[in-house]
């Protein structure tokens, strides 16, 4: 089975490509291969390597007039590719490829699987697209389906969660500490792109609300690429202005995330409406509990009082209070092994089997219809 993933990205960043990499590397006994359709200026920056198909008309981003005007050239470019090379499955990802996915179903008369990785504002568009003939919609959770008003009982709708690489479940479990002091600080870890919707300013604001004595007992290290340089500069300026440099550090990218997870005591994920953050799954898979925003995908992953703590979205005061509770030992979490087992169903092997079953269904059912 040969799968073409439509993403249209210009850069090797973000969770969608991580999902495809994890699908490719999933430990399942299946004969399948994956190719990824990207912009012609795309340059791979991460491993493992993917098999790419390039086009000057591949696009992603917010749905706008300029993106829609590009759809017909993109469709023609894709049609030429499909004439040169045969693919069994077309799997579209990301919001900017949704209009192209609909065009493929209507003009090329090919079934398309569209995985929705976002909570977007144009709910009606996603709901309309899910009703189109030959369009198979995948949402990450049933809550996401309800958010868009998609018919979750339709045979053309599936729930398949995000997931992390199998290798995280084979790594040694973290050795989490439970007593914190200036000599043995609570080590908080942040992972993800430096961009405003990820909410890293909430962490900075929370640290500023801690007393000097409390800050002496805790530190926060963030690892991730800078997607929004202006936002990154504002974060750094805030840290300097409020004398937080000894407590809050933005480290940049890392190629050894497991090592950083093993240095930490808790993960912090403050994003607002993050659909299903892989970083949280990775942390839980090695037994690290998580402080997460009470919205979006983390709510479906973190069990309060067992594998983590929820705080109110974009509420620095609430996050600061939750950090105080951890420092004071008022928050408990399950042993690392039990935290790992709570998300084992989100390993690449298990989730990839669900995708393979969907691919097989689409392939054998032909055109597909509602």
Where would I find the H helices in the chain? 15-25, 65-69, 71-84, 98-103, 123-130, 142-148, 200-209, 212-215, 229-241, 257-263, 278-285, 316-327, 336-342, 348-365
Question: Shortest CA distance to 311 belongs to which of 217, 179, 199, 232?
Answer: 199
Asked if residue 304 is part of any domain, the answer here is yes
Residues 238 and 327 reside in one and the same domain: yes
Check whether residue 299 and residue 361 sit in a common domain: no
- Same domain? 358 vs 286: no
Does residue 295 form part of some domain? yes
263 and 118 both lie in a single domain: no
Quick one: which H or E segment has residue 181? none
Same domain, 9 and 156: yes
Cis peptide before 255 (omega within 30 of 0): no
Question: Does 40 reside within a domain?
Answer: yes
Phi then psi for 289, rounded to 5 degrees? Answer: -75, 165
Q: Give the model confidence (pLDDT) of 233-252 as tens digits.
A: 999 999 999 999 999 999 99
CB of 46 closer than 8 Å to CB of 12: yes
Query: Does 370 reside within a domain?
Result: no
Which of 21, 56, 13 is CA-nearest to residue 37? 56
Q: Which residues, other chains included, contact 293 with Cβ-Cβ below 8 Å and sequence gap of 6+? A: 199, 202, 269, 270, 271, 272, 274, 310, 311, 312, 313, 314
- The pLDDT tens digits for 119-138 are 888 999 999 999 999 999 99
Helix (H), strand (E) at residue 116: strand 112-116
C-alpha to C-alpha distance for 10 and 8, rounded to whole angstroms: 7
225 domain-assigned: yes
Maximum CA extent, the chain: 67
**CATH (domain of 176):** 3.40.50.2000
The CA distance from 144 to 169, in Å, is 26
Q: How many CB atoms within 10 Å of residue 170?
A: 11
What residues make up the domain containing 187? 167-345
**Does 353 lie in the same domain as 341?**
no
Residues 150 and 172 in one domain: no
Tell me: do 45 and 171 sit in the same domain: no
Tell me if 116 sits within 8 A of 148, measured CB to CB: yes
Number of domains in the chain: 2
106 lies in the same domain as 27 = yes
Task: Report how far residue 261's alpha carbon sits from residue 189's, in angstroms, rounded to the nearest whole number.
Answer: 7
Give, for all 370 residues of the chain, the pLDDT tens digit. Answer: 999 999 999 999 778 998 899 999 897 778 899 999 999 999 998 889 999 999 999 999 888 888 889 999 999 999 999 999 999 999 999 888 999 999 999 999 999 999 999 888 899 999 999 999 999 999 998 889 999 999 999 999 999 998 999 999 999 999 988 899 999 999 999 999 999 999 999 999 999 999 999 999 999 999 999 989 999 999 999 999 999 999 999 999 998 999 999 999 999 999 988 888 889 999 999 999 999 999 888 888 999 999 999 999 999 999 999 999 999 999 989 999 999 999 999 999 999 999 999 999 999 986 544 4
For 23, residues 6+ apart whose C-beta sits below 8 A from its C-beta are 34, 348, 352, 355
Question: Which residues are 266's β-sheet partners?
Answer: 188
The answer to whether the CB of 113 falls within 8 A of the CB of 134 is no
* Burial readout 14-24 (b: 16 or more C-beta within 10 A, e: otherwise): bbbbbbbbbbb
Is residue 182 a contact partner of residue 215, using CB atoms and an 8 Å limit? no
pTM of the full structure: 0.86
User: Does a structural domain hold residue 123?
Assistant: yes
Does residue 152 share a domain with residue 260? Answer: no
Angle between helix 15-25 and helix 278-285 axes, rounded to 10 deg: 50
Q: Is residue 99 part of a domain?
A: yes
Task: Please tell me whether residue 167 adopts helix, strand or coil conformation.
Answer: helix
In order, the DSSP letters of 275-315 are SS-HHHHHHHHTT--EEEESSSGGGGT--BTTTEEEE-TT-
277-308 confidence digits (pLDDT tens): 889 999 999 999 999 999 888 888 999 999 99
105 falls within a domain: yes
Regarding whether 238 and 125 lie in a shared domain, the answer is no
Residues 20, 66 within the same domain: yes
Q: 152 near 142, Cβ under 8 Å?
A: yes
């Amino acid at each position: 089975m040969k799968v073409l993933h439509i993403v249209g990205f210009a850069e090797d960043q973000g969770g969608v490509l991580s999902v495809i990499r994890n699908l490719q590397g999933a430990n399942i006994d299946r004969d399948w291969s994956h190719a990824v359709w990207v912009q012609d200026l795309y340059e791979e920056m991460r491993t493992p390597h993917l098999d790419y198909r390039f086009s000057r008309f591949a696009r992603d981003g917010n749905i706008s007039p300029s993106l829609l005007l590009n759809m017909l050239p993109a469709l023609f470019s894709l049609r030429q590719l499909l004439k040169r090379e045969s693919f069994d499955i077309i799997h579209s990802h990301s919001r900017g490829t949704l209009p192209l996915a609909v065009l493929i179903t209507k003009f090329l008369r090919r079934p398309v699987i569209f995985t929705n990785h976002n909570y977007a504002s144009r709910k009606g568009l996603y709901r309309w697209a899910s009703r189109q003939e030959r369009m198979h919609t995948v949402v990450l959770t049933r809550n996401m389906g309800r958010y868009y008003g998609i018919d979750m009982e339709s045979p053309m709708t599936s729930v398949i969660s995000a997931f992390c690489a199998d290798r995280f479940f084979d790594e040694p479990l973290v050795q989490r500490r439970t007593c914190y002091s200036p000599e043995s600080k609570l080590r908080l870890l942040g992972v993800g792109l430096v961009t405003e919707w990820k909410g890293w300013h909430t962490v900075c604001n929370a640290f500023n609300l801690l007393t000097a004595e409390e800050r002496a007992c805790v530190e926060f290290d963030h690892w991730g690429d800078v997607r929004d340089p202006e936002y990154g500069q504002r974060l750094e300026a805030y840290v300097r202005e409020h004398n937080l440099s000894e407590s809050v550090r933005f480290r940049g990218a890392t190629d050894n995330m497991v090592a950083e997870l093993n240095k930490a005591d808790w993960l912090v994920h403050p994003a607002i409406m993050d659909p299903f953050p892989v970083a949280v799954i990775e942390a839980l898979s090695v037994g690290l509990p998580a402080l997460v925003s009470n919205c979006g995908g983390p709510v479906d992953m973190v069990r309060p009082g067992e594998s983590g703590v929820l705080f109110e979205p974009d509420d620095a005061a609430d996050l600061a209070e939750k950090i105080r509770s951890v420092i004071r030992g008022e928050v408990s979490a399950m042993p690392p092994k039990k935290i790992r087992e709570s998300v084992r169903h989100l390993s690449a092997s298990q989730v990839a089997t669900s995708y393979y079953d969907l691919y097989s269904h689409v392939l054998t059912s032909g055109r597909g219809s509602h």
